[in-house]
Amino acid sequence: MEMKKILVADNHPLMLKYMTNLLEKRGHEVLTAQDGLSALDILNDFIPDIMFIDLIMPNIDGKKLCKIVRRMPALKHSYIVVLSAIAAEELEETANLAEIEADAYIAKGPFDKMGKHILAILNRSDQKASTGHPGEIIGLEDIHSRQITKELLSARRHSKGIMENIDEGIMEIACDARIVYVNSAAVSLSGISEEKLLASNFVNIFHEIQRQELRALLESNKPSLQVFTKDSPALLNGKELELRILPLKEEGRKSIVILKDVTEEKKRDVQIQRALKMETIGTLAGGIAHEFNNLLTGIQGNASLMLLNTVSADPDYKRLKNIEKMVQDGSTLTSQLLGYAREGKYQVRSINPNKLVENTSDTFGRTRKDIAVHKELAGDLFMVEADQGQIEQVLLNLYVNAADAMPGVGSLFLKTTNVTYKDIGTEHHRPKPGNYVKLVVTDTGNGMEEKTRKRIFDPFFTTKEIGQGTGLGLASAYGIIKAHGGYIDVESEKGKGSSFKIYLPAVKAVVRDQGTVIREEHLMGHKTILLVDDEESVREVSQELLETIGYNILTAKDGKEALEVYKKYRDTIDLVLLDMVMPNMGGSKVYDRLKEMNPGVKVLLSSGYSINGEATEIVARGCNGFIQKPFSFKDLSQEIKKILNNGQ
């Protein structure tokens, strides 16, 4: 028999010693390794003819070692013999036979019997070319009587089952940072096969920029380190991972690494952050709009009063008209802010969204003839409960944006369909169950980059030149849709157009009366009104306005005064014009007190905020109406007249 190169890998020194004696005595060259990892080290520059591999070893067990070795081209012709008591036990069960990639198996047992089998194998390995297929089991008949119970095997499979089924990736790392164990989650997280992972350097599987840090971390060997957290995750295979490194006290300087995929979780966090930001800015925007509306009311009122005394031939007439026009523009701006602040839900009624699309696209089509509008409207569309004016505003904002993105020529596609909440994209965390109407506005414009797309719903975000865009269009659209319990979403790619999708919750169809139309003229009255507002300018100008058209006016500067005045003149007061937001005693409380004094009291609420939860609630409690500041002369007189005429 010619001299052979032999590698023996077994964790027991006794076995190594015996094998060395046995084989060297017969002139073979023998190298030994106490674990899988050192066996692989030896195999770097030693090509054995035969390998004897123990199944149970630390740092990469025999089964995995076989698997790795089988995939090393240099070792193609090496003959692999598995050497294990466990091998025999498991092989009796035959379940794992096919999984172990060896040429032959020798069951461990008394040395005399084992020795004979080993020498027999040595001869045989000459003739039999290495196939990589499981070979035969030798020596089973000689093994100590062994009652392997099913439970024994199942106990081991139990803990293996846990490791293989948890979501976290688990890796065991030897002191030189090489990987010696991976569970299947670790394989799928890294996207690298088990054979490749085992024995490779743990640090090197991560992104280059993080290797230095990881190396230092492993070397420091402090207990339970969690340096790569959700906020500064490790990057692997395009995923963001949280890493926890647990050094094992007992086994030299080995560590266990737990890898947790936080990619999805981080996405969710960003969504929550975003929602919070919108909320905060919304509150701020609402506050500013409120103050602003009070100012506009003053300006509007003064201008209206002056116009009453000015003939149209007067040179100031045009200027005053201009002031009124600019106040209107200012008020559009604040209403967008209020829309964003999600306080804009006012006149809610059931409407068919197709009608909104028809109305707005007609208006829009007339102004932008260069854009072809294509409509695809569902015939049996659900109704939605919405503020018509606001949703129309949203749609117009979208059209204008689309037009801006298609200078010269382009097409606008408008589509409505019925969907359920399941059809709403994943970008929205858990839409409320139910039916929705989906409105899609698609353009063939120049689209957006990812960076832009992420910010378009932020208030004041605009890519347009200063003076061209306020950046409030989409912010208010977002607020309005949200206030309607809906969702708005965008899909866009640079150069490929954009598609905005709106989802509004559907309601059962109930068509309500649209209300009586009031003639467009100043409506004179001869009644007494109590005017309650903490803003002196608002009080003054409203008083003058209302007096001009024939009302008697009493005023109060806060809630307390209002109650005193009402108590004194309750028989003469026909209506209370009540501001919502006042220091000390707000409109809501004042309303309740008035109601106590006189259940039939007529109250018109006014506020610089548009109708919000509180105002809606007061209206629901029986308050007669709501008017938003800045109110025009006409609006105010109409609203008052409407209330006074009712129930008379």
Partner 1 sequence: MNIKELAENIGLEKEEYLELVELFVETGKSDMDKLQSAIDEKNVEKVATASHSLKGASGNLGFEEIFEVAKKINDEALEGSLKGTPESAQVLKEKLNAIASLLLPDTNIYIK
Ligand X SMILES: Nc1ncnc2c1ncn2[C@@H]1O[C@H](COP(=O)(O)OP(=O)(O)OP(=O)(O)O)[C@@H](O)[C@H]1O
Binding site for partner 1 (CB under 8 A): 11-15, 17-18, 21, 56, 85, 108-112, 114-116, 144, 146, 149, 151-152, 155-156
Minimum CB separation of residue 276 from ligand X in Å reads 20
Among Mg ion, ligand X, partner 1, none, the one that 443 touches (CB under a kind-dependent 5 to 8 A) is ligand X
Task: Pick one of 401, 476, 492, 612: the residue that binds Mg ion (CB under 5 A).
Answer: 401
Minimum CB separation of residue 279 from partner 1 in Å reads 51
Residue nearest to Mg ion (CB): 473
Among partner 1, Mg ion, ligand X, none, the one that 19 touches (CB under a kind-dependent 5 to 8 A) is none
**Closest CA relative to residue 219, chosen from 203, 232, 243, 235:** 203
Helical spans, DSSP H, in 182-262: 184-190, 194-197, 208-220
CA distances from 453 to 445, 456, 457, 589 (A): 14, 6, 8, 44
Minimum CB separation of residue 390 from ligand X in Å reads 15
Minimum CB separation of residue 453 from ligand X in Å reads 8
Among Mg ion, ligand X, partner 1, none, the one that 274 touches (CB under a kind-dependent 5 to 8 A) is none
* Whether residue 459 has a cis bond before it, omega within 30° of 0: no
Minimum CB separation of residue 400 from Mg ion in Å reads 5
Residue 56 or 518: the one with the smaller Cβ distance to partner 1 is 56
Spatial separation of the C-alpha atoms in residues 459 and 479, rounded to whole Å: 10
Residue 32 or 336: the one with the smaller Cβ distance to ligand X is 336
Q: Strand 234-236 to strand 239-247: parallel, antiparallel, or no bridges (unpaired)?
A: antiparallel
Minimum CB separation of residue 101 from partner 1 in Å reads 23
Q: Which residues pair with 383 in a beta bridge?
A: 507
Residues 452-481 that bind Mg ion (CB under 5 A): 473
Residue 59 or 499: the one with the smaller Cβ distance to ligand X is 499
Q: Check residue 445 for interaction with Mg ion (CB under 5 A).
A: no
Spatial separation of the C-alpha atoms in residues 548 and 633, rounded to whole Å: 11
Answer for the pair 68, 22: CB distance below 8 angstroms, yes or no.
Answer: no
Name the site residues for ligand X (rule: CB under 6 A): 397, 401-402, 405, 443, 445, 447-448, 452, 456, 461-464, 469-475, 498
DSSP-assigned states of every residue in 561-625: HHHHHHHHHTTT--EEEEES--SSS-HHHHHHHHHHH-TT--EEEEESS-S-HHHHHHHHTT--E
Residue 169 or 497: the one with the smaller Cβ distance to Mg ion is 497
Three-class secondary structure of residue 72 per DSSP: coil
Minimum CB separation of residue 502 from Mg ion in Å reads 15
Residue 279 or 449: the one with the smaller Cβ distance to ligand X is 449
Answer for the pair 397, 383: CB distance below 8 angstroms, yes or no.
Answer: no
- Helix count and strand count (H, E) for the chain: 20, 23
Residue 111 or 413: the one with the smaller Cβ distance to partner 1 is 111
DSSP letter, residue 129: P
Residue 361 or 606: the one with the smaller Cβ distance to ligand X is 361
Residue 14 or 620: the one with the smaller Cβ distance to partner 1 is 14
Minimum CB separation of residue 339 from ligand X in Å reads 11
Which of left, alpha, beta for 121 (phi over 0: left; psi -120 to 50: alpha)? alpha
